[in-house]
Amino acid sequence: MHLINTWKIIILSVLAFVLAILIGAQMSSASSQKVHKPVVEEIGELTDEELLKMQKELQKPVKESGRFTEGVLWKIEKDKEFIGYIFGTIHMNDKRVNEVRKNIIDRFDEMTSFAMESFPSDHYWNPYHGGQMIKGDMTLPKGQTLEELIGKDLYVRVEEILLDLGLDKQTILHLKPWAAMRSFAVKAENTEDLILDYELLDRAAAQRKDLYQVESIEEFLVTFYAMPQDVQIKLLEFTLNSYAQMRETINMMLEAYLEEDLLKMYQISTSFIPNKPEFEKYRETYLKHVVKDRNVVMEHYMRKPMREKNTFIAIGALHLYGDQGVLALMEKDGYQVTRVPISNKNSVGKSEG
């Protein structure tokens, strides 16, 4: 029983929104509703080779133009025809996010479909099999240990914190470096029952909207375990060294979100990596896997609900940022996006098209 609870704790740290189900949290009513899964064949637009080509394009150094640095809600149009909205969320269940919710919910209710990152239709949500699959993705091959990979001194420090978070020694010993890194957490404050993304999902299901997901959980997980192992180890070390500042970092991220400051959020997202020239390669690799590659996948899968029109798309706000973000990719596909300011910050919405 203790081992089962341990895996519930660690998986929750990695995919809190997915594995809340494993610890008895509220199950979305959308789990039994027919949904559109992110399958390339269903969309019929880009092949895997074309997707990979787009991802390689995003690896090229880009000097940011300064566009798409602010704004979490955007109106989508194509050839002057209304398509819907794209909304940048923050994956926290902090009560302060309610102010954002109040300012988007009317537009959300008017739409006939809803698209978001992966949700309960995915087989990974199965309380047993999903947990087993994710556990397999997070653990090292038989015979390998985390201590051997990262060295005794670093391992002792990692183990001390993860034991305090509720993991047991055997679990920690066999984690992959990325899984250990993602298991670092601080206790939430000012919490609501549901993260906003999943409140919107429940609302969409109740309103019988068509549901789409723009990234599968498999695609989310591969962003981490596809990282080179030496990068995983270094990122784990950086995370450990910055752990004492984690709550402060989370609060800074939330404040930037409430100000609709995408640039600041983007900078904060890698603030755990020291600002030294020799460490920039780790920052770039982290952003490539966790943000930029996923931008391509998400924007590709958004095309189906956008073709259907009257859609409300919700993805992490970091994916909206900059000349390699989802908004810029949408422009390349011929869509026009216009910011809809929703915060109290003194800003003026303008077309970015």
Q: Are 214 and 114 in contact (CB under 8 A)?
A: no
More confident residue, 333 or 121: 333
Mean pLDDT of 80-104: 92
Q: 4 falls in which pLDDT band (50, 70, 90)?
A: very low
pLDDT in tens, 36-87: 554 433 443 455 566 666 666 666 666 777 889 999 999 999 999 999 999 9
**Which tokens go with 62?**
């880009």
49: left (phi over 0), alpha (psi -120 to 50) or beta: alpha
Q: How confident is the model at residue 200 (pLDDT cuts 50, 70, 90)?
A: very high
CA distances from 186 to 178, 235, 268, 271 (A): 17, 18, 17, 17
Determine contact, residues 168/10, Cβ cutoff 8 Å.
no
pTM of the full structure: 0.82
Q: Would the pLDDT of 349 be above 80?
A: no
Non-local (6+) Cβ contacts of 20 within 8 A are 12, 26
Q: Give the tens place of pLDDT for each residue, 206-215.
A: 999 999 989 8
Task: Give yes or no for residue 198 having a pLDDT over 70.
Answer: yes
First to last CA, the chain: 55
Q: Kindly indicate the confidence band of residue 129, based on its pLDDT and cuts at 50, 70 and 90.
A: very low
Torsion region of 60: left, alpha or beta (phi above 0 gives left; psi -120 to 50 gives alpha): beta
The number of helix segments (H) and strand segments (E) in the chain equals 18, 7
pLDDT of residue 116: 92
> And the tokens for 306?
């956008």
Q: Is the CB of residue 234 less than 8 Å from the CB of residue 282?
A: yes
Four-CA torsion 325, 328, 332, 335, nearest 10 degrees = 120
CA distances from 90 to 70, 139, 190, 198, 337 (A): 14, 28, 15, 11, 20
